């Protein structure tokens, strides 16, 4: 647990580190054959999750995530053992092992593996909140690849027509599976929402502290003005799309790794703080895995 | 009262009672009141509960799902049933899966209403009976209104009582038909949440299983067979099209041992296939019969449309085959 | 048949008049109960069809139209008796009575009644033409209401990514069925294509001669540059959406009728020319109806 | 050779022969070569014939339809069969209708290929067997590859010979399976354009009708029943899932009078219903049996997935019921 003396930089680092180590562990478990199916890790993109989703208020805000959802889930505050259990197919999985890596629901957070499918649902959730007069917002996360799905534009139109309090979090990691941006996305990403009359903004950084300030403005805009917002984060993933299916140029990946959000953030911490974070994460992760072991295979239909 | 008024009045009543019922669809505002006028008056009476939408079928169903997750009970209108192809992903991969997939006590009480069917010359993309493609989807309930059961009451069950997503099918011709008054026909009601009606008295010689507006031509066929052939028919009017409650069907067929299934959709891989398969452990006097549309798009010209869609004579012929034909 | 001395103004007027009188006849036949189903007439929008579709080259250009297709069909050069027969359900219908008012194919022209459905198909046709190295273009027509369908944006993305020779003809007649623009379309129509990197242009006139010049530029841009173009025509329909289902403000309709394209064009003609046009249309229409009578009801499946 | 190589090599061959065959899909370029590697090498060998697309399932099918209208023979890959919900409108209301609706001699030779099925732990939206929702669509042909018939040859028929749109179903597990060599099994081929295989020699006691990768568990079940119960099974391997060619099925069932239909999709309203209904004029010794998935989404965890999808034991039990059970 965070200790009282921890400062914001430490907390951000620790939260990103937890995501990083969890994703690494998941890939390791996959390689060891301990998990079936598929999974999509967000290594390299942790700062987005922590900066934006991490700032939401779990008591009132909603998140609709996609296939690459682990980081969003953890930043939202979803229990780690529930996530690992879900992926391992143990009985403590947050959805009892039914959903698996891509289909998770916890409190006001949910994800689904069909690209584009969650976007209009997020609009409905935002509209529900609006009708109730609540001040919660809904965040729906999509990648650059999901810009190909028509439901996105149908939803932008609805969100604008009805002033829905929804934040479109667009994580442009420059690839959709194996497809580089220029083969899948014509023109501009940030402009895609503008013709609908939706405010749009973009940021190209992996510095979690910069992202935090930028995200906080985006969140507050939606929360206070009760209008949609299109927030594009240019980013990069270091891990493969799912498991080992990486065809990107190694030099390119290496170049982006220079901007590893953890590296950037670690520069703000001293050695002791870094060790402390590692130790904390190791402990939390260890306990979560133990909980999965103890729970045993999910067998209850 | 016409079925249209039953539906409309029921919506008025339930929306007056409950502010959590929302009506969503294209062109649903007054004075237009929806393409088939089911929403007439709603936006005037309940301005905060009626949402007219852009032409975005997939997304308005998604919208309804999100609202359902927020505790509302949305009723989404798809203007023509032919367009449910556009909402397949939202129903099958999203709304219907949520409760079970997330392992949550999560109601997704969205009702998607849509007018289906032909016989109005609307042509190939405005006349189909496509609900057959949405049967047997886990977590999705498919209901169909009829003249025989108060359609407004049925809609209310869909809105208030069923916690899964519901695809609610209304046949276009049904809107203008008079609801059958209690007592007008000899009928018994099963006691399922969504009842099946068993229509017809006396000792039946054959069973006809059907749903929706097919009842009108089935009634004519049964009357004809009674008068001309002295055959007594029992009609099983199903209202929950999927999943099927086989109990009342079995009771009838075990008595008659002759069965005809009638649907307006294309016969091949249709609803009737499941009915017949589900009854296939019953030993019949004659092979079961199916009456449905031919495997063709629905043409616009009247004379052509008639040749594709099932007619009264097809039902009569099928029943007679169950009397004359034997298993091979 | 056009007489040798006819000038362009006359031809444009006559072509628009043919559409107008045909649509009026169709509505009359509907009212008389001679036709079942539904139909969507383009009274008030004739100038768009004549100016843009009328300029296409039937030997090489393709048209994918929508529910409101009669004017496009006639401007493209589809036979009148085939159209009337199709709507009346007589054996001479251009599709044998199977398609009816909304589903017509003739040569390189086709229409379908499902909004949005034809747009990606038009992209495929444009791509086919491109692959063959032909110089034909594909025109796909949509209304303001169809801006709600996601396939449009999926198609804009494809058209831009692959430089497809396709012209998006957007007829904004300010209503989708009963729904006024502001309830269905957020933001800007002309801008909707721009984020994809597609050139877009708009025009707000019912003067067929102005439209002709503007359309010819749009067509030539696509034909020569082999790139998509988004062409928005602001217009108005005088007839009901389909048959008698009109809930628009009468004053509003009347105000727009001041700008009736036929009236504007008639000012360029003398009385004799106007009479000539009426006579010609009456004759052509009379013969087409007679052909339907002679063909008899479509009965062959 | 594995089924994956059969498909891949066939595509290489047909694309080398014909420049009008185009391969379209998401992530289909080398070196990636498609999510399941069916397109491996194609973009290198035929750069002008391979189009990698944005993630726009509906529109890439529309694109293919437009190309088909231009005289091409496009093969469109949908990455997971679960996403065919997104292309329903393009297939049902557009591609499949055109020829007949326009009353034209108009070929729409688009092939939509897609990997279906579970047993790999992919979870609720990446494991389904959804082709059942596309059966009985006029103008649409649904084929399914198997180990028993050269899958590459079947795909070539779809591409070159069938002029209607084809939905071509490949089971994910099938890719890695070895194709059954001619002579390896005792089998006869029907002489339809898309053949049904009748597998098994001797005097059969029961018929199993199935398609796709179900063959693997059916073969195991049949072997078990032969060894342990001395029951002889005949397997009908269907490759044209819709419309069904009933002839070879009838021949077998008229002999055995015991029939089990096996499919991986959800049993209710599934393919098996049509098979049983289509054979329902044949007098059987015992009620026909269906084996399919339970009416639930497909869970991710292995132990759970097994409980939902049909297993070998389910087939064995069903066959035994046809021996032990009687009509009511
Ligand atoms: C409708 C649909 N089509 C295809 C897929 C397969 N798929 C899963 S992730 C993915 C790439 C998504 O790219 P992007 O949106 O950029 O997100 P990223 O993976 O880069 O985070 C694809 C094609 C899917 N899950 N859903
Ligand atoms: C997918 C789909 N949804 C709904 C309809 C019913 N419908 C037919 S025309 C129309 C309005 C279309 O408006 P617009 O695109 O502006 O064209 P206009 O009628 O004004 O020419 C609607 C809702 C349809 N045909 N297809
Ligand atoms: Mg991406
Ligand atoms: Mg309009």
DSSP C174-241: SEETTEEHHHH--S-SGGGGGGGT-EEEEEE---HHHHHHHHHHHHHHHHHH---EEEEEE----S-S
d(CA D56, CA D79): 11
For residue D269, give the H/E element and its range: none
Give the start-end residues of each E strand in chain B: 21-25, 50-52, 73-77, 111-116, 141-144, 166-171, 187-189, 197-199, 206-211, 233-238, 240-242, 259-266, 289-293
Asked whether the bond before B243 is cis by omega within 30 degrees of 0, the reply is yes
β-strand pairing of D240-242 with C229-234: unpaired
Is A177 near ligand 1, meaning CB less than 6 Å away?
yes
D182 located within any domain: no
At C211-252, the pLDDT tens digits run 999 999 999 999 999 999 999 999 999 999 998 789 999 999
Q: Is the pLDDT of residue B302 over 50?
A: yes
pLDDT of residue C4: 56
Which one of C153, C160, C191 has the shortest CB-CB distance to A153? C153
Beta-ladder partners of B23: B50, B75
C176 and B55 in contact by Cβ < 8 A? Answer: yes
Distance (Å) from CA A234 to ligand 3 centroid: 10
Judge whether B278 lies within some domain: yes
The 10s digit of each residue's pLDDT in B68-113 is 999 999 999 999 999 999 999 999 999 999 999 999 999 999 999 9
What is the whole-number distance in angstroms between the Cα of residue C145 and the centre of ligand 2?
6
Strand partners, D104: none
CB contact under 8 A, A177 and D122: no
C5 has pLDDT over 90: no
Ligand 1 contacts CB of residue D83 (under 6 A): yes
* DSSP H/E element including A180: strand A179-180
Shared domain for D161 and D281, answered yes or no, is: no
| Same-domain status, B167 and B282 | no
Which residues, at least 6 apart from A69, have a Cβ–Cβ distance to it below 8 Å? A40, A101, A102, A104, A111, A141
B152 and B102 inside one domain: yes
Residue C288: partners with Cβ closer than 8 Å, 6 or more residues away: C79, C80, C81, C83, C84
* Segment D222-280, tens digit of pLDDT: 999 999 999 999 999 999 999 999 999 999 999 999 999 999 999 999 999 999 999 99
- Number of domains chain D contains: 2
What three-state secondary structure class fits A267?
coil
Q: Work out the percent of chain B whose per-residue pLDDT is above 90.
A: 98
B212 and B72 co-located in one domain: no
Q: What is the pLDDT of residues B56-65, one digit of tens each?
A: 999 999 999 9
**Cα atoms in the 13 Å half-sphere on the side-chain side of D207:** 28
Contact A150 C147 (CB under 8 A): no
In a shared domain, residues B197 and B279: yes
Of C161, C183, C187, which is closest to A197 when you measure between CB atoms?
A: C187
Of B133, B151, B176, the domain-final residue = B176
Residues B147 and B260 reside in one and the same domain: no
What does the buried/exposed string (b/e) look like for B64-94 if buried means 16 or more CB atoms within 10 Å of the residue's CB? bbbbbbbebbbbbbbbbbbbbbbbbbbbbbb
Residue B182 belongs to some domain of the structure: no
CA A151 from chain center: how many Å?
Answer: 20
Ligand at shortest distance from the CA of A42: 1
Q: Name the DSSP letter for residue B2.
A: B
Identify whether residues D169 and D195 lie together within a single domain: no
Q: How far apart are CA D189 and CA D196, in angstroms?
A: 6
Across all residues in chain B, what is the average pLDDT?
97
pLDDT value of position A4: 56
Q: Is the pLDDT of residue C207 over 80?
A: yes
Tell whether the model's pLDDT for residue C3 goes beyond 60.
Answer: no
Residues D156 and D204 in one domain: no
The residue out of B115, B149, B176 marking a domain boundary is B176
Quick count: other Cβ atoms within 10 Å of Cβ C287?
11
The pLDDT value recorded for residue C1 is: 44
Scanning every residue of chain B, which has its alpha carbon at the shortest distance from the alpha carbon of D254? B328
**Tokens found for residue D272:** 């098996």
Tally of CB atoms within 10 A around B136? 25
Q: Residue B214's domain is classified under what CATH number?
A: 3.40.50.920
**Domain match, B87 and B154 both:** yes
Distance from C-alpha of D5 to C-alpha of C188, rounded to nearest angstrom: 50
3-state secondary structure D66-83: HHHHCCCEEEEECCCHHH
- CB count, 10 Å around CB of A60? 13
Is the CB of C117 inside 8 Å of chain D's CB atoms? Answer: yes
B69:A129 CB<8 A: no
Collapse the DSSP code of C110 into the 3-class scheme (helix H, G, I; strand E, B; otherwise coil) and give the result. strand
Q: What is the dihedral of CA A174, A176, A179, A183, to 10 degrees?
A: -70
Ligand 2 in contact with C49 (CB < 6 A)? no
CB A234 within 8 A of CB A202: yes
Identify whether B181 is part of a domain: no
Set of chain B residues whose Cβ sits within 8 Å of the Cβ of C102 = 123, 125-126
User: Per-residue pLDDT for B275 more than 50?
Assistant: yes
Mean pLDDT of B4-16: 98
Structure tokens at A133: 């007069």
Facing B304 at nearest CB: one of C97, C103, C183: C97
Domain boundary among B114, B141, B176: B176
What's the average model confidence in pLDDT over B310-324? 97
For chain D, what percent of residues have pLDDT higher than 70?
100
Q: Which residue of D has its CA nearest to B305?
A: D101
Q: In this structure, are D204 and D100 located in the same domain? A: no
Q: Which CATH class is domain A8-300?
A: alpha beta
**Residue carrying structure tokens 């042509």:** B123
A-C Cβ pairs (cutoff 8 Å, strict): 69
Instruction: Flag whether D328 is in a domain.
Output: no
Q: How many residues in total does chain C contain?
A: 301
Residue D34 tokens read as: 């498609």
Whether residue B74 contacts residue B38, with contact meaning beta carbons closer than 8 Å, is answered with no
Above pLDDT 90, what percent of chain D? 98
Distance (angstroms) between ligand 2 centre and the Cα of C30 equals: 20
Assess contact for A123 and A161: CB atoms under 8 A: no
* Residue given tokens 């009468």 in the structure block: C250
pLDDT per residue, tens digit, chain A (301 aa), is: 445 578 999 999 999 999 999 999 999 999 999 998 999 999 999 999 999 999 999 999 999 999 999 999 999 999 999 999 999 999 999 999 999 999 999 999 999 999 999 999 999 999 999 999 999 999 999 999 999 999 999 999 999 999 999 999 999 999 999 999 999 999 999 999 999 999 999 999 999 999 999 999 999 999 999 999 999 999 999 999 998 789 999 999 999 999 999 999 999 999 999 999 999 999 999 999 999 999 999 998 8
- Which pLDDT band holds residue D202 (cuts at 50, 70, 90)? confident
D19 and D148 within one domain: yes
Confidence label for C62 from pLDDT (cuts 50, 70 and 90): very high
What residues of chain A lie within 8 A of the CB of C196, using their CB?
A: 186-187
Tell me whether C8 touches chain D (CB under 8 Å). no
Q: How much is the pLDDT for A3?
A: 52
Q: What is the CA radius of gyration of chain D?
A: 20
Residues D300, A247: C-beta atoms closer than 8 Å: no
Residue A175 Cβ < 6 Å to ligand 1 = yes
Average pLDDT over residues B230-250: 98
The answer to whether residue D326 scores a pLDDT higher than 70 is yes
**Which residues are A204's β-sheet partners?**
A234
- What is the distance in A from the centroid of ligand 4 to the CA of C44? 12
Q: Is residue D120 part of a domain?
A: yes
Q: How far is CA C240 from CA C43, C82, C151, C208, in A?
A: 9, 24, 27, 22
Looking at the predicted complex, does its ipTM rise above 0.95? yes
Cα four-point dihedral sign C238, C241, C246, C247: negative
Sequence ranges of the domains in chain C: 8-300
Count of C-beta atoms within a 10 Å radius of residue A271 = 8
User: Which of A105, A114, A120, A196 would best serve as a mutation to test chain B binding (most B beta carbons within 10 A)?
Assistant: A120
Domain assignment of residue B221, yes or no: yes
Q: For residue A1, what pLDDT is reported?
A: 44
Q: Are residues B34 and B167 in the same domain?
A: yes
Contacts with C147 from chain A: Cβ below 8 Å: 157
Q: What is the pLDDT of residues B147-196, one digit of tens each?
A: 999 999 999 999 999 999 999 999 999 999 999 998 899 999 999 999 99
Cα–chain center distance at B221: 20
DSSP string, C75-108: HHT--HHHHHHHHHTBTTSTTTTSS-TT--EETT
- With an 8 Å Cβ cutoff, are C188 and A198 in contact? no
Asked if residue D69 is part of any domain, the answer here is yes
Angle subtended by helix axes A80-88 and A8-31, to nearest 10 = 10
Put simply, the answer to whether B125 touches D276 (Cβ < 8 Å) is no
A132: cis peptide before it, omega within 30°? Answer: no
Considering only CB atoms, B300 lies closest to which of C99, C147, C177, namely C99
Supply the range of the domain harboring residue D63.
3-176
Distance CA A274, CA A291 (A): 26
């Amino acid at each position: 647990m965070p200790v009282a003396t921890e400062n914001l930089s430490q907390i951000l680092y620790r939260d990103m580190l937890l995501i990083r180590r969890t994703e690494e562990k998941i890939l390791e478990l996959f390689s060891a054959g301990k998990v079936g199916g598929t999974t999509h890790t967000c290594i390299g993109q942790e700062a987005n999750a922590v900066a934006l989703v991490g700032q939401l208020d779990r008591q009132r805000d909603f998140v609709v995530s996609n296939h690459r959802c682990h980081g969003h889930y953890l930043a939202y505050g979803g229990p780690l053992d529930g996530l690992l259990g879900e992926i391992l197919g143990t009985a403590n999985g947050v959805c009892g092992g039914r959903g698996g890596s891509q289909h998770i629901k916890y409190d006001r957070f949910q994800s689904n593996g069909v690209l584009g499918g969650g976007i209009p649902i997020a609009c409905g959730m935002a509209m529900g909140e609006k009708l109730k007069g609540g001040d919660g917002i809904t965040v729906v996360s999509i990648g650059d690849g999901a810009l190909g799905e028509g439901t996105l534009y149908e939803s932008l139109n609805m969100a604008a027509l009805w002033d829905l309090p929804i934040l479109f979090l667009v994580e442009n990691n420059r690839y959709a599976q194996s497809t580089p941006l220029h083969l899948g996305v014509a023109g501009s990403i940030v402009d895609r929402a503008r013709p609908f009359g939706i405010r749009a903004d973009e940021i190209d950084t992996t510095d979690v502290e910069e992202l935090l300030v930028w995200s906080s403005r985006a969140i507050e805009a939606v929360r206070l003005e009760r209008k949609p917002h299109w927030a594009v984060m240019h980013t990069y993933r270091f891990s493969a799309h799912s498991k080992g299916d990486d065809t990107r140029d190694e030099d390119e990946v290496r170049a982006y790794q220079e901007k590893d959000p953890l590296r950037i953030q670690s520069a703000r911490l001293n050695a002791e703080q870094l060790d402390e974070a590692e130790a904390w994460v190791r402990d939390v992760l260890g306990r979560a895995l133990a909980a999965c072991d103890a729970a045993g295979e999910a067998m209850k239909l | 009262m016409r079925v249209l008024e039953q539906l409309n009045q029921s919506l008025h009543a339930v929306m007056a009672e409950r502010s959590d019922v929302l009506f969503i669809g294209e062109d649903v505002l007054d004075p237009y009141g929806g393409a088939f006028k089911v929403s007439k008056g709603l936006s005037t009476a309940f301005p905060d509960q009626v949402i007219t939408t852009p032409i975005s079928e997939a997304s308005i169903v998604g919208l309804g799902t999100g609202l359902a997750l927020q505790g509302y009970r949305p009723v989404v209108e798809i203007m023509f049933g032919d367009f449910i192809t556009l909402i397949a992903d939202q129903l099958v991969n999203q709304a219907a899966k949520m409760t079970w997939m997330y392992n949550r006590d999560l109601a997704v009480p969205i009702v998607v209403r849509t007018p289906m069917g032909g016989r109005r010359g609307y042509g190939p993309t405005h006349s189909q009976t496509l609900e057959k493609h949405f049967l047997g989807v886990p977590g999705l309930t498919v209901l169909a209104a009829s003249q025989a059961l108060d359609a407004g009451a049925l809609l209310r069950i869909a809105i208030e009582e069923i916690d899964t997503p519901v695809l609610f099918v209304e046949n276009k011709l049904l809107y203008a038909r008079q609801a059958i008054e209690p007592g007008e026909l000899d009928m018994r009601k099963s006691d399922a949440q969504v009842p099946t009606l068993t229509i017809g008295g006396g000792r039946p010689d054959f069973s006809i299983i059907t749903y929706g507006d097919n009842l009108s031509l089935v009634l004519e066929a049964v009357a004809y067979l009674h008068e001309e052939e002295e055959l007594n028919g029992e009609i099983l009017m199903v209202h929950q099209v999927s999943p099927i409650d086989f109990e009342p069907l079995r009771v009838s067929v075990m008595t008659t041992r002759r069965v005809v299934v009638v649907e307006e959709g294309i016969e091949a891989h249709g609803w009737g296939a499941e009915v017949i398969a589900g009854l296939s452990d019953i030993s019949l006097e004659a092979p079961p019969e199916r009456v449905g549309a031919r495997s063709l798009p629905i043409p616009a010209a009247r004379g052509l449309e008639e040749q594709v869609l099932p007619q009264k004579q097809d039902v009569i012929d099928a029943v007679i085959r169950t009397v004359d034909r034997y298993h091979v």
